[in-house]
Amino acid sequence: MANTSAVYARIDSDLKENAECILHQLGITPSSAIQMLYSQIVLTKSFPLDLHLSYRQPTAIGGMNRKELDAELSKGYESAMAGRTYCADDVDKIMKDEFNV
């Protein structure tokens, strides 16, 4: 058996749950993720890890049912009321960068 040591860390419970859900979808255990992180830190002498799930493609309004459309419109309204707005050029850039649209 390999010579191993335990790493203990205290993190927010919601953060842990959300991260472990994503790791599970990627097929990676939390222990493997930590091992990968430490290996990359040593190899690159930096913090280079960039694992993520693929972005989903944006859904056209015509592909949404009424409930989905209402939910998206509500999110947009809440964002606007909170001052999180984008100009058209910013939206175009985001759509191109994230969705190649």
Q: How does pLDDT run across 65-98, given as a tens digit for each residue?
A: 899 899 989 998 998 899 888 889 988 888 888 8
Residues 11 and 42 in one domain: yes
Does 55 have pLDDT greater than 60? Answer: yes
Who wins on pLDDT, 16 or 55? 16
Residues 46 and 13 in one domain: yes
Q: What is the average pLDDT score of the chain?
A: 87
Work out the pLDDT band at 54, boundaries 50, 70, 90.
Answer: low
The structure's pTM equals 0.48
Residues 1 and 45 in one domain: yes
Domain final residue, candidates 33, 52, 71: 52
Q: For the chain, what is the domain count? A: 2
Which of 46, 47, 6 is closest to 30 using CA atoms? 6
Same-domain pairing of 3 and 48:
yes
Same domain, 44 and 69: no
Q: What pLDDT score was predicted for residue 14?
A: 92
| b/e map 43-76, b = 16+ CB within 10 Å | eeeeeeeeeeeeeeeeeeeeeeeeeeeeeeeeee
Q: Residue 95 sits in which domain range?
A: 61-99
